[in-house]
Amino acid sequence: MAGGAIAHAAAIDGKWTTEFDSQIGQQKYTYELKSDGEKVTGTAHGERADGTKSDVAITDGKITKDDVFFVEPLKFQEMEIRVEYSGKLSGDEMKLSRKVGDFATEEIVAHRVKDAAKSADTKKDEAPKK
């Protein structure tokens, strides 16, 4: 039934954050994801321990029920590296395997940022506080 797939696909929309250790040190990521049916698009905002930052458009994104896959085509030290994410979406948590080219694979967990849209709607109803 197509309606079920669309409902699950919409559950990925929004901001997701994660922090993890890798071969190049601690990394922090924010993913801004949007679905259209089973297609997933968005941006991966990364920050490494050395202060290097990256903003990369996500490609090849797909969600089928709770299975998630997307690619971060990352440029690192003049090399093009394909970073593949695959895993499961469960409510406000995504458990992902992050495969960095042929170099490394990390298991990460990303959590949905809850305050973005909901707090904006809540603030409209509140009187200004000064």
Q: Which residue matches tokens 């973005």?
A: 116
Q: What is the mean pLDDT of the chain?
A: 85
If one counts every other C-beta atom within 10 angstroms of the C-beta of residue 124, the result is 7
Residue 120: is its pLDDT beyond 50? Answer: no
CA distance 82 to 74: 6
Summarised one tens digit per residue, pLDDT across range 24-58 is: 899 999 999 999 999 999 999 999 988 999 999 99
- Residues of the chain with pLDDT > 70, as a percent, come to 81
- pTM value is 0.80
CA distance 125 to 48: 39
pLDDT of res. 110: 98
CA distance 12 to 94: 9
Domains of the chain from N-terminus onward: 2-124 (2.40.128.120)
